[in-house]
A = this chain, B = another copy of it.
Amino acid sequence: MLIIFTGDGKGKTTSAIGQALRAVGNGSKVLMVELVKGPWESGEDKSSKKLGPSFKIVKKGKGFVKILGDKLPFEEHKKAAFEAIQYSLEELKGGEWDILILDEVWNAYNLGLLSKQDVSSFIDGALPLCDHLIMTGRGCPQEFIDRADLVTEMKEIKHPFKTGVCAAKGVEF
Select from chain B the residue with minimum beta-carbon distance to A158: B151
From known contacts A152-B11, A153-B157, A155-B7, infer whether A171 and B17 are also in contact, taking CB-CB under 8 Å: no
Complex contacts, A25 vs chain B, CB 8 Å: 42-48
Select from chain B the residue with minimum beta-carbon distance to A159: B150
CB <8 Å contact, A168 and B132? yes
The answer to the question of A51 belonging to the interface, with a C-beta cut-off of 8 Å to chain B, is: yes
Bitwise interface map of A from 148 to 164 toward B, beta carbon under 8 Å scored 1, else 0: 11111111111110000
Apart from A21-B21, A152-B156, A153-B155, 11 more pairs, CB < 8 Å: A10-B152, A11-B18, A14-B14, A18-B18, A18-B44, A21-B43, A21-B47, A23-B170, A24-B43, A50-B50, A152-B157
The answer to the question of A86 belonging to the interface, with a C-beta cut-off of 8 Å to chain B, is: no
- A171 nearest CB across to chain B (Å): 6
- A93 nearest CB across to chain B (Å): 21
Select from chain B the residue with minimum beta-carbon distance to A169: B26
**CB proximity to B under 8 Å, residues A9-48:** 9-28, 42-48
